[in-house]
Amino acid sequence: MQSIDGLLIDLDGTVYQGSELIAGSAAAIDRLREAGVPFLFTTNTSRMSRSAIIASLGAMGLRVEGSEVFSAPVAAARWLRDEGVSRIHLLVADSTYEDFVEFEITDERPEALLVGDLGSGFTFERLNEGFRSLRTGARLVAIHRNRFWLTDDGPTLDAGPFVAALEYASRQTATLVGKPSPAFFDTAASLLGVDRQRLAVVGDDLETDIRGGIAAGLATVQVRTGKFDAASLEQVPPDQRPDHVVPTLADVPALLE
């Protein structure tokens, strides 16, 4: 691997799975801290606010500071500020509203409709309310568009299919603010203070982590946990494959030594 000065580490499927840390994750993070390797947890998780993510990791036994987590909802809030948007309609879990307290949340002619993961909250009524906001001029913003995620019950639909439904109905193309958007990785690199050419993305998802990292010009490391699928990896062109594939996050510190 090229000389790496920092890491952008995915959470769900890389650090933890369901409600438990993946074996060796906590020790790997400790090794990175001891070695002075700067890192940032980069996650598309939209069912929880950043503070809730940190609390959840703490309950699993992983100590994390607020400055170490850059989530797609936080990226969405930054995008809204940059675009001068103040009135928004949210299709996100209640916990995630905390990341948007500076905005006016309304379904009365909002300037933007933000779609994250509502889980079973994706009812016809909620989707139709969002569709009507788009019909009155709101911009469609995808906090992320992951196809599915892995829960304790098995593979579960994520926000992506519902973003696609709203795109089709409204004839809009959503603005993507989470992974694999290059802008997401650009902002993460800026927050970490490390040049993109010396950063590596670590994750389990071939589409959002690996292809997203490659598109942003970053080195990539795929772990064989979470969504990892060996068959899918074999089918992609060589230039879309990760620089390294390792069993778990526990094997990443050794790559940097």
Tell whether the model's pLDDT for residue 2 goes beyond 70. no
pLDDT tens per residue, range 137-164: 999 999 999 999 888 888 999 999 999 9
Asked whether the domain spanning 85-176 has the same topology as the one spanning 6-44+179-256, the reply is yes
CATH superfamily of 6-44+179-256: HAD superfamily/HAD-like (3.40.50.1000)
Mean pLDDT of the chain: 95
Q: Encoding tokens for residue 218?
A: 């970053």
Spatial contact of 24 and 250, defined as CB atoms under 8 Å apart: yes
How far is Cα 82 from Cα 80, in angstroms, rounded to an integer?
Answer: 5
Output the CA–CA distances (angstroms, integers) from residue 135 to 112, 143, 170, 206, 247, in the order listed.
Answer: 11, 19, 7, 34, 47
User: CATH second-level architecture of 85-176?
Assistant: 3-Layer(aba) Sandwich (3.40)
How many C-beta atoms surround the C-beta of residue 4 within 10 A?
Answer: 19
Exposure string over 70-102, b if 16+ CB within 10 A, otherwise e: bbbbbbbbbbbeeeebebbbbbbbebbeebbee
Residue from 257, 252, 250, 186 nearest 25 by CA: 250
User: What is the residue extent of each domain of the chain?
Assistant: 6-44+179-256, 85-176
Give the burial class of 175: count Cβ atoms within 10 A of its Cβ; 0-12 exposed, 13-18 middle, 19 or more buried: middle
pLDDT, tens digit (0-9, with 9 covering 90-100), for 107-118: 999 999 999 999
* Rounded Cα–Cα distance for residues 167 and 165 (Å): 5
- Contact at 8 Å (CB) between 103 and 87? yes
Residue range 12-18: mean pLDDT, rounded: 95
| Entry pTM | 0.92
Residue 197 has a pLDDT of 87
From residue 15, how far is each of 44, 57, 208, 224, 225 by CA, in Å? 13, 9, 16, 12, 9
With tokens 């390294």, the residue in question is 244
Structure tokens at 34: 């001891």
Note the pLDDT tens digit of each residue in 193-241.
998 889 999 999 999 999 999 999 999 999 999 999 999 999 999 999 9
> Residue 135 pLDDT more than 70?
yes
The span from the CA of 257 to the CA of 70, in Å, is 25
